Chains A and B, each alone.
Chain A
Amino acid sequence: MAQVFHRSANNLARIAIAVVVLTAIGILCAAYLLNAGSTTTGVGLAIDQHVPFSHKHHVADDGIDCRYCHGSVETSKFAGIPSTETCMSCHAQIWTNAAMLEPVRESFRSGKSLQWTRVYDLPDFVYFDHSIHVSKGIGCSSCHGRVDQMPLTYKVNTLYMQWCVECHRAPERHVRPRDQIFNPAYLTPASNQDIIGPQLVAQYQVQSLTDCVTCHR
């Protein structure tokens, strides 16, 4: 009777081992890339809005302070999406016939809210509070990036828990003077971050809160 396996089976057996090992490594790499890529995280993907609101125009060109529109950011957990009335406080007078702004005017006429699409959407089991971060020296651009350079808003951070925890474990690397909070061009970490960081942490009494109850109430 002939041999059960042809000589080529030797190579087949060796290749099979390599294939198994490489497949395992490949799956791990794919999982990592998928997890870190913008398909999953949404980082860097500009979101289409009914009204293509440009932060770049309103902040960089017009020089409007963040709090003009996001008025509750210093006092409330929610920074606030401005109401139609806020838009109309200017656009009742300028660009009154722009087609782009028709949904705003329509909203103003009908009293129905504008439908904005959230870019930074945390799951509801996370309790995030804007006001505490602003008052403890964390500026807008640390988390939201150079909003003044975004024609359409996109995420610059994953909002993964590791991203939150990273800063909560070492807030001195990201904290900035309170008068720079709303300066979109302020760079963190600053050139002298290792000096001012610990100072500000002490001065603002920043705690390194990483217990579950801090966010998952």
Chain B
Amino acid sequence: MTPEDPRSTAVATLDPGPDKVIGPGHDFGTVTDQISGVVFRPFLKTPPQLFLGFAIGFVLINLFLISITWLFLRGIGIWGVNMPVAWGFAIINFVWWIGIGHAGTLISAILLLLKQDWRTSINRFAEAMTLFAVACAGMFPILHLGRPWLAYWLLPYPNTMWLWPQPRSPLIWDVFAVSTYATISLVFWFTGLIPDLATMRDKAGNRTAQKIYGSLALGWRGSAKHWARYQKAYLLLAGLSTPLVISVHSVVSFDFSVATLPGWHTTIFPPYFVAGAIYSGFAMVLTLAIPVRRWYHLEDLITMRHIECMSKVMLGTGLIVAYGYAMEAFMAWYSSGQYERYAFINRVWAGGYWWTYWLLILCNILIPQLLWSRRVRMSIPLVFVISLVVNVGMWLERFVIVVTSLTRDYVPSSWGMYYPTFWDWSTYAGTIGLFITLMFLFIRGLPAISIFEMREVVHQNAEAEHAHRDS
């Protein structure tokens, strides 16, 4: 098979229908060509949307660099945080980004353990999303420190002070959780890439590309021994990543639930945060997959079945989140604790932030209920809009939890408001720019869909057809 194979464009526009994970007429060659074709497309034939997105990302990254330079020069006083609300956008965005990352691992690890065939064409993509989201998230815990240059004190290393980090603080657990998560995600993603990098190496047209992909492929030859060990390692990594997804976001939720603040001190937080993470993560996968699928004509690889399955997972986790909101309301009443009750009243109408709560209910609970309808799930524009709405809603959820609980707690003399400044917004927008840029670089430079796993799908389909014909 050569890169100029005519089939690579011939099959591009076939829509396989709602039930298939891959379009008809695909064989190993066409799948390989179509996916690697995205990368090997001449630079100037990159879809213009990608250039536009990259330009936006570039501008936003510069905004980010300016923001953090100013932050380091002037201190976190440039943000709107103060007493009583000492945690603002930095923590909201941290939790939001970490949450977004979780769908990637869910898709690549948990769905692998559950043998879901529809994970195949979105897992690479989702893992990259995880990595870049964690990269964005990982900066906030450092940026929000008053003295970010001492962040390494959070690590347990032997030092001349004979001092170690406090292992009882969830913020220290965050360090371990996020750094482990980032590392394992990277290893998992890279492991998944190795056979594909070998394909890229073999299909690359010029020496430089061959050398780059060849070095990254680490000399993969695809022998049976390789594959046997590979599958075992991949499965083990999936098995390791699964508890990680659950525990990492639980640890993030401990940042709040371990505190004694009404509105934070809730035992439902760990599972409810994890569900929210998967909810927002799937929303982000859809937000990204829908346009990319269109720009690169990948309709027969990312089919309506993928979109529908993701919508269903989004609906399911959205319902868990809804249950979480309901339980918080119920517990506020059931606890008979005046502070707990007030914390809820404050969210709903008493404080200055009642509108964020109702927007949250609208975005996270009411609008996604449309996904019950198959017609909505099968409509690309509607799913895309709902996924955007959920992204906004999940950001609002973290805002409501972090800010609203802090503005009014035990002592009325310590009540106050939080007004984000320009620098709060610019830092947030900057990380979005970083995310977009990394994502687009990834799509341009690496196979965004797992080639070898798609070939497995083709193989399984062919076998199933054989069995069908024989019987």
- Interface flags, A140-161, vs B, CB<8A=1, else 0: 0000000000000000001011
CB distance from B165 to the nearest CB of A (A): 14
Q: Mark out the residues of chain A between 147 and 204 whose CB falls within 8 Å of any chain B CB in the assembled complex.
A: 158, 160-162, 165-166
Stretch of B156-164, B260-268, B368-376, B402-410 with 4 or more beta carbons under 8 angstroms from chain A: B156-164
B211: Cβ under 8 A from any A Cβ: yes
Instruction: Judge whether A4 and B161 touch: CB under 8 Å.
Output: no
A68 part of interface (Cβ distance < 8 Å): no
Instruction: Beyond the given A5-B211, A161-B162, please list 6 additional residue pairs across the A-B interface where CB-CB is below 8 A.
Output: A4-B207, A4-B214, A160-B160, A161-B163, A162-B162, A166-B162
A207 close to chain B: CB less than 8 A = no
A4 touches which one: B162, B163, B210 (CB < 8 A)? B210
Asked if B102 is at the interface (CB within 8 A of a chain A CB), the reply is no
Point out the residue from B160, B162, B163, B219 that lies within 8 Å of A158, measured CB to CB. Answer: B160
A131–B214 CA distance with the chains assembled, in angstroms: 69
Interface check B201, CB cutoff 8 A: yes
Interface size class of A (residues with CB under 8 A): 10 to 19
Closest 4 CB pairs of A and B: A160-B160, A161-B161, A162-B162, A4-B210
- Whether the pair A5, B214 counts as a contact (CB closer than 8 A) is yes
Chain B interface size band reads 10 to 19
Instruction: Give chain B nearest CB distance to A19 CB in angstroms.
Output: 15
Is B161 within 8 A of A162, CB to CB?
yes
A-B residue pair count with CB separations less than 8 angstroms: 23
Complex A-B: 5 CB contacts under 8 Å: A4-B201, A4-B207, A5-B214, A158-B160, A162-B160
Per the bound structure, the CA–CA distance linking A161 and B219 in Å amounts to: 50
Q: How far is the CA of A77 from the CA of B13 in the complex (A)?
A: 83
Complex contacts, A161 vs chain B, CB 8 Å:
160-163
- Return chain B residues, CB-CB under 8 Å to A166: 162
Cα–Cα distance between A165 and B161 once the two chains are bound (Å): 8
Report chain B residues within 8 Å CB of A13. Answer: 219
Q: Taking the nearest CB of chain B, how far is it from the CB of A18, in angstroms?
A: 16
A160 proximity list for chain B (CB < 8 A)? 160-161
Q: Is A35 located at the chain interface by the 8 A CB criterion? A: yes
Give the interface centre of B160, B207, B210, B214 by most chain A CB atoms within 10 Å: B160
B210 cross-chain contacts in A, Cβ below 8 A: 4
Considering the chains assembled together, what is the distance between the CA atoms of A162 and B160 in angstroms? Answer: 5
| Complex-state Cα separation, A98 to B27, whole angstroms | 100
Q: Using a CB-CB cutoff of 8 Å, which residues 13-64 of chain A contact chain B? A: 13, 35
Cross-interface CB contact of B211 among A4, A158, A162, A165, cutoff 8 Å: A4
* List of A residues within 8 angstroms of B219 by Cβ: 13
B159 to chain A: which residues have CB within 8 Å? 162
Nearest A-chain residue to B211, judged by Cβ: A4
Chain B nearest Cβ from A208, distance in angstroms: 14
Binary flags per residue of B193-229, CB closer than 8 Å to A gives 1, else 0: 0000000010000010011001000010000000000
Give the CA-CA distance A162 to B163 in the complex, in Å: 8
CB distance from A45 to the nearest CB of B (A): 18
A35 to B157: give the CA distance in the assembly, Å.
14
A133 CB to closest chain B CB (Å) equals: 19
Q: Residues of A contacting B211 with CB < 8 Å?
A: 4-5
By beta carbon, the residue of chain A nearest B202 is A4
Q: Which residues of A contact B162 (CB under 8 A)?
A: 161-162, 165-166
